[in-house]
Amino acid sequence: MSKNKYQGLTQLGKDTKLPSSPEEAKIDTVPNPRPESDYFVRFTCPEFTSLCPVTGQPDFAHIVIDYVPNGLLVESKSLKLYMHSFRNHAGFHEDCTVGIAERLVAELKPKWLRIGGYWYPRGGIPIDVFYQTGEPPEGIWVPDQGVPSYRGRG
């Protein structure tokens, strides 16, 4: 691929500041180098942080994003900055998890996407949130997300 296909990148290879909010964050995309092949991509964010919209206390999650690309791939540095922009974002677990999925679907228009938000306990109750755009394309190997259910210290 020629470098011209990557000239629109706003963050990769540049000194980039952390966006102050998910709405401010820019998600860069690059052309899929294998658009004729269906394949599976996974991003794992084991130290995701946001804020409780009621108490302002931090919430922590292990987020797993799986997708089958169509014409575009998400550029990983921009995804990392987007995910980190939630550090100062006040939102319930459901809002954060589904919001990430909907933003990625809007930006990438993937053939398929799912997200697992494995949230650590708040008030003694862990909340796990899952979103999926539908059935994955036939023939795609979809591995388990590999995050065990919360079991406390046992």
Active-site residue, selected from the candidate residues 38, 52, 95, 128 = 52
Active site residue 52: yes
Give Cα 17 to chain centroid, integer Å.
19
DSSP secondary structure letter of residue 17: P
User: Among 37, 82, 36, which residue's Cα sits nearest to residue 63?
Assistant: 82
Pairwise CA distance, residues 94 & 37, whole Å = 32
Active site residue 144: no
**How long a stretch of residues is the chain?**
154
Active-site residue, selected from the candidate residues 28, 45, 59, 66 = 59
Residues catalogued as catalytic: 52, 59
